[in-house]
Amino acid sequence: MNREIVFIVYVSDIEASVAFYSDLLGLDTDFVSPRYVTFALGAGVSLALWTGNSAALEGAPARTTEVCLNVPAGEVAATFEQWKGKGVTVLREPYEEVFGSTFVVADPDGNLIRVAPID
């Protein structure tokens, strides 16, 4: 059976969000439509940005999910400094968690992005 896993992030401005994620994660798009854009992450796995449900972003919704980028443990602090230099909104500076050093930033819509060490 063919399968693909797509992680969808709701955004309000597709062009601004594509630019943000492309720059931050160093990814190129692999599918582009007016309200839905994907980035291939690996065989059968994609990150999608979608404006089709952007009404869910109105007000101050609780953020109960995160996009997480895993990097080698020694690169967490350097990634934080690099992203901070890009002007991202830092929600939590690097701190120690049970899995190692980690930090959390937000995209332009307040969606959470965590960096943590590769397990």
Per-run averaged pLDDT (10 residues), the chain, 119 residues = 86 96 96 96 94 79 86 96 96 96 95 93
Tokens standing for residue 86: 């890009």
Global pTM reads 0.89
In whole angstroms, what is the distance from residue 119 CA to residue 98 CA? 11
Write the pLDDT tens digit of every residue in 70-80.
Answer: 999 999 999 99
Tokens standing for residue 85: 């230099």
Closest CA relative to residue 37, chosen from 64, 6, 83, 58: 6
